[in-house]
Amino acid sequence: MSDLGRLEDLPADYVAALRAQNLVPLWPSLRAVMPAGKPQPRTAPTRWSYAALKPLLLRAGELTPIEKAERRVLVLANPGHTLEKMQASSAIYLGMQLLLPGEWAPSHRHTPNAVRMVVEGEGAWTTVEGEKCPMGRGDLILTPTGLWHEHGHDGDQPVVWLDVLDLPLVHYLEASYHVNGQRQAQLAMRGDRAFVRAGVAPTPVFERTRKAYPLLRYPWADTKAALQSLAVDQPDLECVMVTYLNPETGGDAENILGFYALMLRPGQTLSLPARSPASVFHVIEGGAEVQVMTDRFALAEADTCCAPGYTPITLRNRSATAPAFVFAADEAPLHRKLGLYEVRA
């Protein structure tokens, strides 16, 4: 128990006088907002099964036409924050979005940053500022803050992707809003292949590009090949992981959240240290077991889980014969910008 005193120990007339002036005594609540030693995250280790989620998502497609839904999404909500807050962690929002053949999700832009990790299906696309980005399994598509974007589907089977946004943070800052727009005229992809070779970038002689996000689509084929090459080139490397970067700046692909792809060798167990940011893991190929404190999650393809910050995490490939590939997102860029980033042994 705190020795700083309790609110109920104060005279009722004194508390009433404080509240009449919109004042609150700090000392009874000081340890709640600034605990000793390390934070006490509300983010609870949580797993979302795609096999259980998919039928409910497909039923949403039957129950609600895209014209009424605009974006047909089931939110992956963390019970530690309460389901009503619709957040996976303090700064991360997750949602599984469904687009059926022939549908078009209208053009809009919003202040939260977003990415789309394609889970399954072919024939869908996202247009960002006129640039048409095909969506294939494992592809990562950026829709950064303030950029117009829309989704369409020319295929014949449902397409599902995982939305990852910094919506909880932007909402907390009272800066979250959207603006509807008109259907975009589509242009061919400009930056997709220009940055495909590692270590080199296009260099205009007369004028440098002014695009804050020169690369909007990160094809899974290229990312997987990079992981496989890294594993072969460095057979003793413990953590085979790559970061999705802005190729112009060398910084993170977006400003607030970090995005990564991880390869677990057959039978590998990988122990990650406790870090300050919360993390999300989503299996692209194979299967993985994720242990967070006393929770142990067996993840199949397309399953997702989250882990609070300041907590060690263990990942294990469930297969002894094939690699597993995992997409990860975390709050590390935000923590670094705020000077809060920590790694604990």
Predicted confidence at residue 187, as pLDDT, reads 78
How far is the C-alpha of 50 from the C-alpha of 283, rounded, in Å? 10
301 near 283, Cβ under 8 Å? yes
Predicted confidence at residue 252, as pLDDT, reads 97
Reported as type and span, the H/E element at residue 20 is: helix 12-20
Global pTM value: 0.94
CA dihedral of 101, 102, 107, 110, whole degrees rounded to 10: -10
Residue ranges of domains in the chain = 46-193+214-344
Mode of pairing for the β-strands spanning 178-180 and 104-110: antiparallel
Predicted confidence at residue 1, as pLDDT, reads 41
Question: Mapping DSSP to helix (H, G, I), strand (E, B) and coil, where does residue 343 land?
Answer: strand
DSSP string, 297-315: EEE-TT-EEEE-SS--EEE
275: tokens are 């870090």
- With a cut of 70, which residues of the chain have pLDDT below it? 1-4, 188-194, 196, 198, 205-210
| pLDDT per residue as tens digits for the range 16-61 | 999 999 999 999 999 999 999 999 999 999 999 999 999 999 999 9
Q: Which CATH number fits domain 46-193+214-344: 3.40.190.10, 2.60.120.10, 3.40.50.1240, 3.30.565.10?
A: 2.60.120.10
